[in-house]
Amino acid sequence: MTRTDQTLTEELGRRIGYTFHSCALAVEAVTHRSRGLSNNERLEFLGDSVLNLAVSQLVFNRFPQHPEGELSRIRAALVNREALLRIAQNLRIGELLRLGEGELKSGGVGRPSILADAVEAIMGAVYRDGGFEKAEVVITQLVAPLLEEVNPTVAQKDSKTQLQEWLQARRHSLPRYKLLESRGEAHDKTFRIACIVDELKIHTEGEGKSRRVAEQLAARAAYDALPATSL
């Protein structure tokens, strides 16, 4: 274990409110596959399940009178790529990522898909390091600000729908989505999509492992860029 690894582990722990016993797990959680064979993909796989279970319990306990369908929609709003990206940005996870030289030069520290995947990997690392109860505490703390924004009486609409309805209500033309880039092997492609609202001079981008995810992230960024006085 190097001093650099120890410093990274302590800083990651400080940001998420958890003290790691294993420095190796913490470092692995923020190491992208572009850096080498020992990367966070396996922890990401595990963290996805841990995150879903912890958020399911949180939503189940928080909304005791709501039926299964509403609980599913609330959970989806808290564990989707957009939510994970917001968590990553709030924690400034990009500053801690270990990337290969090529990925670093191409702006990987700010790439939505890499940031969202890192959050899942970090949750997987906490689970492996301290068990589910510790992971649940961390997840609850990180998700709490997003949960406060959820209206359980309203079906959660995706970002493309929210953006479209906002524009239609004000008689603006609908947004355009443009594929800017697709890269990677056929089984592991990454898409970069632009969302363009010509009348309002809004041009945002989203990136994800599918066109749908990339479009949703671009639409969320466009929705966030709408004139505040008209929201």
48 flagged as catalytic = yes
Tell me how far apart the alpha carbons of residues 30 and 164 are, in angstroms, rounded to a whole number. Answer: 35
Tell me how far apart the alpha carbons of residues 121 and 45 are, in angstroms, rounded to a whole number. Answer: 7
Residue found by looking up tokens 């966070």 in the block: 40
Token pair belonging to 163: 């953006």
Contact 47, 120 (CB under 8 A): yes
* Contacts by residues 166-171 (CB-CB < 8 Å, ≥ 24 positions apart): 166/223, 166/226, 166/231, 167/197, 170/230
Instruction: Give the 3-state secondary structure of residue 147.
Output: helix
Token pair belonging to 38: 């020992």
Q: Which of 28, 103, 117, 120 is catalytic?
A: 120
Q: Rounded to 5, what percent of the chain is helix, strand, coil? A: 65, 10, 25
120 flagged as catalytic = yes
Tell me which amino acid residue 157 is.
Answer: K
User: How many Cβ atoms sit within 10 Å of the Cβ of residue 121?
Assistant: 27
Report the interhelical angle of 81-91 vs 112-130 (nearest 10°).
80
Q: Which of 48, 103, 207, 215 is catalytic?
A: 48
Catalytic residues: 48, 120
